[in-house]
Amino acid sequence: MTSPVPAGTDRRIYIDKQSPKAYHALAQTSEAVRAVAADAGLDRVLVELVNLRVSQLNGCAFCLHLHTRAALRAGDTPQRLGVLAAWRDTELFTPAERAALALAEATTAPADTAAQDAAYAAARDALTDDQISAVIWVAVTINAFNRVSVMSRHRVRAEQ
Q: Which tens digit of pLDDT belongs to each residue from 38-47? A: 999 999 999 9
Q: How confident is the model at residue 9 (pLDDT cuts 50, 70, 90)?
A: low
Q: What is the pLDDT of residue 160?
A: 82
Q: What is the CA radius of gyration of the chain?
A: 17
The per-residue pLDDT for 36 is 98
Q: Which residues of 80-94 are buried (b: 16+ CB within 10 A; e: fewer)?
A: bbeebeebeeeebbe
- From the list 84, 75, 74, 64, the residue with the least C-alpha distance to 34 is 74
The pTM of the full predicted model, rounded to 2 decimals, is 0.92
Lowest mean pLDDT among 5-14, 80-89, 128-137: 5-14
Q: How many Å apart are CA 88 and CA 11, to the nearest integer?
A: 39
**Distance between CA 50 and CA 99 in Å, rounded?**
10
Give the whole-number percent of the chain exceeding pLDDT 90. 91
Give the pLDDT of residue 1: 47
pLDDT, residue 4, reads 54
Range name among 10-14, 128-132, 155-159 with the lowest pLDDT average: 10-14
Interval 28-38 mean pLDDT: 98
